[in-house]
Structure 1
Amino acid sequence: MRKTSVAAGVIAIALISTACGATKEAAPAARTEAAKQPASTAATSSETRVMTYLGKEYTVPVKAERIVMAGSMESMEDALVLGIKPVGANTVGGKFLEMFASITDKAEPIGEKTQPNLEAILKLKPDIILGSSKFPAEMMEKLGKVKTTLPISHISTDWEANLNALAELTGTQSKAKEAIEKYKKEATAAKEKLSTSLKDKKVLAIRVRTGNITIYPASVFFNPSLYTDLGLQVPEEVKQAKAQQTLSMEKLSEINPDYLFVQFAEDENKEQPKALEDLEKNPIWQSMNAVKNKKVFVNIVDPLTQGGTSYSKITFLEAALPKLSN
């Protein structure tokens, strides 16, 4: 079933020249003392401590109660897994995405994912801000003047570190551990099950954006789930991709996948709302093995899921395994 969402808009950033009560990273002396202890648990005071995330240290509260998720869709998806409700979160087109309804019922909107509103964030008095590794340095600096901000990675292979960081901040480590172990166990079993039947098959995941066919590197989108976790053959075009890459219909037909997973969101194709329909009518599309054998699967998960988060991986595996097993 194809799901839809609201198109992303732009909200101007409210510049704050002085962020009252701005919290800075630990002083050198605190870092030195922290280095004597395990970095992830070293306490700097009765209220704050130093935690390590992807090799860098951050001064954070002992337990974060008021979390603002500014620009990090990865954090939003991890919050679904852990049942964490932020006090503030980014919107898409001025609204919270429907997929996040269970965690945003009491959240305040703090601007679009690409341009968070600093004034709105400041009013919420956050304990911690979860930003995005996609943010430019100047944006991270501005957010850091409001409160300590973690640049949550958008790289799929950092999914465990992302989930564990949120779990550590909120005291939900056991829930994160359980989710990770359950996923890995199920993925391992699926890999063994599919190792013979899909040995020589080409499996590809694409996203249709602005009317174009796009693919991603092996470490991005749903690709780690397909090629690492399930051990499927990596198409050469995916190996060579350095970032999101547009494919022509002719190039896609050269790959000629046996199984094709398609993500299509209407809000990402506002000027070409019938882009997918047009693709499906194209004779070149119809000539591909996946199409001829009815192995094309559209939006088996919400079309705006990030692809490489704990939530994306869990839901994608659950939905994709029956498709790949038949």
Structure 2
Amino acid sequence: MRTKLASIGALTLLAVVLSACGGKQADTTQGAATPAQPAATAPVAAPAANEPRTIKYLDKEYKVPAKAENIVITGALEAMEDAIVLDVKPKGAISVGGKFPPMFAAITGQSQSIGEKTQPNLETIVKLKPDVILGTSKFPAETAEKLTKIATTFPVSHISTHWEANLRLLGELTGKQAKAEEVLKQYKADTEAAKKQLGEKLKDKKVVAIRVRSGNIAIYPADVFFNPSLYTDLGLAVPEEVKAAKAQETLSVEKFAQMNPDYLFIQFSEDENTDKPTALQDLQNNPIIKSTNAFKNGKVFVNVVDPLAQGGTAWSKINFLKAAVTNLSK
């Protein structure tokens, strides 16, 4: 009996040992089939949802949030015009005479005024907690420095030839790059169509755009105001007076008469002539001015686009091109 029990015990012990060895082998085999187990490594933190990114604008790099949702526009009416084109609604925007002009009604319904063009209200801008500030290249260094301490600030260029870079900047900030490119492509197509429509009609004609400011006649260089639309895009001849202009220059009535344009576009805003509200009428009724070809032949066009339009922006160029071609075709 004892011999039988000992045999049974030995067999049981052997079975236990074999079972243990088999289990261990199974575990080892399973581990070898998946050598890199995620659970065996420390968890990796997900990237921040709004991790900064770099945007290049006019050969300079700027750090901005991945999503620039709160945009404040100050000083740069150019950026305000671009916002119309891309349907961007800034959290803070420029007011004119204490209110938002009708020209910007489509984008300023929920915006807060951050002051006038040349007088930004820094306290208001701080309260708005902007992700990005669109300032202007016209700001003095002191103002630009104060804005930069609030948020990344872009000195949006007021130079007309930078209009494409300005539009692309806003498109990249807001995720509307495709729309910006579509606008640029369409404008170039419209320009080519306009040139074909006008043909050689204006080959020997002098076409000029002026702005009436503080009651004076102001002209601009060929790459400022609406001049690039006339002389670069439509390929019209550049008058000598425009070639000679280094910046905004005031022309006397006598010099304007000597210039003697055949076609004249006048931009007149009451906000820029508060001290001389009748300046436009005075100009139109001046006998010396009335002796010029444009006035004699009925080729004077006043405010063919909103008088606040800056000229060198996508909105200005799109709308001025349509109006210019319509009037120059008469």
Same fold (TM over 0.5): yes
The one-letter code sitting in structure 1 at the alignment partner of 2:162 is: D
Q: Between 223-232 and 184-193, report the one with greater CA deviation.
A: 184-193
1:157 is paired with a residue whose SS is helix
Deviations 1:135-188 (A, max 9, x none): 011111100000000000000000000000000000001111111111111112
Q: Which of 250, 256, 265 is the matching residue for 1:252?
A: 256
Residue 241 of structure 1 pairs with residue 245 of structure 2:
yes
Deviations 1:199-252 (A, max 9, x none): 000000000011000001111100000000000010111111111100011111
Deviations 1:26-45 (A, max 9, x none): xxxxxxxxxxxxxxxxx999
Cα deviation code 1:77-119 (max 9, x no counterpart): 0000000000001211111111001100000111111121111
Aligned to 2:79, which of 75, 79, 94? Answer: 75
Residues 195 and 231 of structure 1 are in contact (CA less than 8 Å); yes or no, is this contact kept in structure 2? no
State the distance in 2 between where 1:180 and 1:271 align: 39
* Length-normalised TM-score, structure 1: 0.85
The letter of the residue matching 2:284 is E
Contact 2:220/2:246 (CA < 8 Å) preserved in 1?
Answer: yes
- Aligned position for 2:115: 111
Corresponding residue to 2:279 among 275, 281, 284: 275
1:183-194 mapped onto 2 (5 Å cutoff) = 183-194=187-198
Q: Is the 8 A contact 1:44 1:50 kept in 2?
A: no
- Residue 46 of structure 1 and its aligned partner are, at CA, apart by 5.1
Shift in CA distance, 44/201, structure 1 to aligned 2, threshold 3 Å: farther
Within a 5 Å distance, the mapping from 1:78-227 to structure 2 comes to 78-227=82-231
* 8 A contact 1:214–1:245 mirrored in 2: yes
**1:193 Cα deviation (Å)?**
2.6
Matching residue's letter, 1:188 = E
1:294-318 alpha-carbon deviations (Å, 9 max, x no partner) = 0000001011110110000001011
Q: Which residue of 2 aligns with 1:26?
A: none
1:313 aligns with 2:291: no
Alignment partners' CA distance in 2, 1:317 and 1:284 = 29
Tell me the secondary structure at the aligned position of residue 213 of structure 1.
strand
Q: Is the contact made by 2:206 and 2:261 (CA closer than 8 Å) also made in structure 1?
A: yes
Paired position in structure 2 for 1:230: 234
Root-mean-square deviation (Å): 1.3
Aligned to 1:53: 57
Q: Within the alignment, does 1:262 sit opposite 2:257 as a pair?
A: no
> Which of structures 1 and 2 has the bigger CA Rg?
2
Instruction: Give unmatched runs, 5+ long, in structure 1.
Output: 1-42
Q: Do the aligned partners of residues 245 and 271 (structure 1) sit closer, same or farther apart at CA in structure 2, a change above 3 Å counting?
A: same
SS of corresponding position for 2:94: strand
**How far is the alpha carbon of 1:268 from its aligned partner?**
1.1
Taking CA–CA contacts closer than 8 Å with sequence separation of 6 or more, which of the two structures ends up with the larger relative contact order? 1
Mapped partners of 2:186, 2:108: distance in 1: 26
Please state how far the C-alpha of 1:291 moved relative to its aligned partner.
0.7
Contact 2:50 2:65 in 1 (8 A): no
Distance 2:279 2:74 in 1: 31
Residues 259-301 of structure 1: CA distance to partner in whole angstroms, max 9, x if unpaired? 0000011121112111111111111111111111100000010
Mapping 1:283-302, distance limit 5 Å: 283-302=287-306
Displacement after TM superposition at 1:127 (Å): 0.7
In structure 1, what is the Cα distance between the partners aligned to 2:194 and 2:187?
10
Gaps in structure 2 of 5+ consecutive residues: 1-46
SS of 2:134's equivalent? Answer: strand
> Does the 8 Å CA contact 2:53/2:64 hold for their aligned counterparts?
yes
Secondary structure of 1:68 counterpart: strand
Indicate if the aligned counterparts of 2:265 and 2:303 stay in contact, CA closer than 8 A. Answer: yes
